[in-house]
Amino acid sequence: MAKKQSVGNQPLVGFHFSVNFLFNTKNKTTETGFKEIKGIERTILYKPSVEGATSSDMLGIDKVQYGTLILSRGVVTNSKIHEWYEKHITTFKKYPIPITVNVLDSNHKPLYFYIFYDVYPVKMVTSGFNAMKSEILIEELHLVYSKYTQSTSGSFQK
């Protein structure tokens, strides 16, 4: 049995990862082939105290603002993600789910993970077609989320 790699003080690699869409089914859905993930960000917005106050006079945190998660991959024809996206369009309702992004070790086991809560799609973009280039058709899925957490261990709690 291979030993689990320790995170320790070593930087994590950003090229070996998986994405799990936790739909309301018996099993999680792991979607593969993502070439890039962007938008893992949060910004703390502070309440200003009075006009003319310095930055040290801030009253406290007003709210935390989160980015838009953008997942890029080659277009595939059989994807639960497409069904989920179409469900939003046809019903005009949101169907939020949790998503995990896992940084994997050399044995393909999660070493570090991000959990995104209340995730739903807001945009899907397909790259253009060009007969002069032999490129893979790329899709970008833009997702919003209410918050995220990150951890090296423990289990996911919805």
Supply the DSSP string of 36-50, one letter for each residue. Answer: EEE---EEEEEEP-S
Inform me whether the pLDDT recorded for 7 exceeds 60.
no
Query: What's at 17, amino acid-wise?
Result: F
Mean pLDDT of the chain: 85
Inform me whether the pLDDT recorded for 97 exceeds 70.
yes
pLDDT of residue 49: 66
Region 77-89 average pLDDT = 90
Q: What gap in Å lies between CA 39 and CA 140, rounded to an integer? A: 12
Reported as a single tens digit per residue, the pLDDT across 123-144 is 999 998 999 999 999 999 999 9
Q: Collect all residues with Cβ–Cβ distance below 8 Å to 22 and sequence separation of at least 6.
A: 28, 29, 97, 98, 99, 100, 156, 158
Region 120-124 average pLDDT = 96
